Amino acid sequence: MSTLEERAQSIRLVCSDIDGVLTTGELRYDGSTGHTKSFHVRDGQAIKWLQQCGIPVAFISGLESAATLERARHLAVDDCFMGHLAKKPALESLCAKYGLGLHQVVHLGDDLADLPLLTRVGLACCPSDAVEEVRHACHWIVPVEGGRGVLRTVAELILKAQGHWDSIVASYQK
Say what the pLDDT of residue 84 is: 67
Indicate the pLDDT class of residue 36, thresholds 50, 70 and 90: confident
Indicate the pLDDT class of residue 5, thresholds 50, 70 and 90: very high
Query: At 155, which amino acid appears?
Result: A
Please give the average per-residue pLDDT across 112-128, as a whole number: 97
Q: Convert the pLDDT of each residue in 47-57 to its tens digit.
A: 999 999 999 99
Look at the chain and report how many structural domains it folds into. 1
Nearest alpha carbon to residue 63 among 43, 39, 80, 42? 80
Domain that includes residue 55, residue range: 4-170
- Percent of the chain residues past pLDDT 90, beyond the cut: 85
Say what the pLDDT of residue 26 is: 79
11: domain CATH number?
3.40.50.1000
Answer yes or no: is pLDDT of 31 > 80: no
Burial class (CB in 10 A: 0-12, 13-18, 19+), 103: middle
Is the pTM above the cut of 0.85? yes
